[in-house]
């Protein structure tokens, strides 16, 4: 969950932007900007209330691990060799490194 002080900082910044919007000379632009900021303030208050309501009941989705999930490997990646031949369905030559025909898609 985000830090509550960060939400408060964001709300204060929005309030300062609202105060600055009174300086906009064009009435339509001033009204549009004020509405945008007021909606953003309302949403940040709503979000803050939800965070307080939920509290720590939901674990963070981010997990920190001491070691990587998959250890790095210096092994060379080699294709799996299989016998190449002809597709039994269409007769096209099959590649030895895949299990299906690239022409007709038959296994």
Neighbours of 101 (CB within 10 A): 19
The per-type count for the chain, helices as H runs and strands as E runs, is 2, 0
Predicted local confidence at residue 1, as pLDDT = 44
HSE value, Cβ hemisphere, 13 Å, CA-based, for 61? 1
The average pLDDT across 84-104 equals 78
HSE value, Cβ hemisphere, 13 Å, CA-based, for 93? 3
Residue 97 in domain: no
pTM of structure: 0.49
Tokens of 66: 């001491």
Q: Which domain holds residue 20?
A: 4-54
* Model confidence pLDDT, tens digit, residues 21-72: 999 999 999 999 999 999 999 999 998 888 888 876 767 666 777 777 777 7
Residue 38 in domain: yes
Element (H, E) at 27: helix 27-54
Residue 25 in domain: yes
Total number of domains in the chain = 1
Residue 10 in domain: yes
Residue 88 in domain: no
């Amino acid at each position: 969950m985000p830090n509550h002080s960060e939400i408060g900082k964001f709300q204060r910044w929005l309030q300062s932007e609202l105060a600055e919007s009174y300086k906009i000379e064009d009435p339509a632009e001033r009204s549009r900007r004020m509405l945008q900021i007021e909606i953003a303030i309302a949403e940040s208050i709503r979000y803050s209330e939800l965070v307080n309501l939920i509290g720590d009941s939901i674990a963070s989705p981010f997990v920190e691990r001491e070691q990587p999930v998959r250890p790095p490997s210096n092994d060379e990646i080699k294709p799996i060799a299989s016998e190449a031949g002809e597709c039994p369905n269409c007769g096209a030559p099959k590649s030895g490194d895949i299990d299906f025909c690239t022409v007709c898609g038959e296994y």
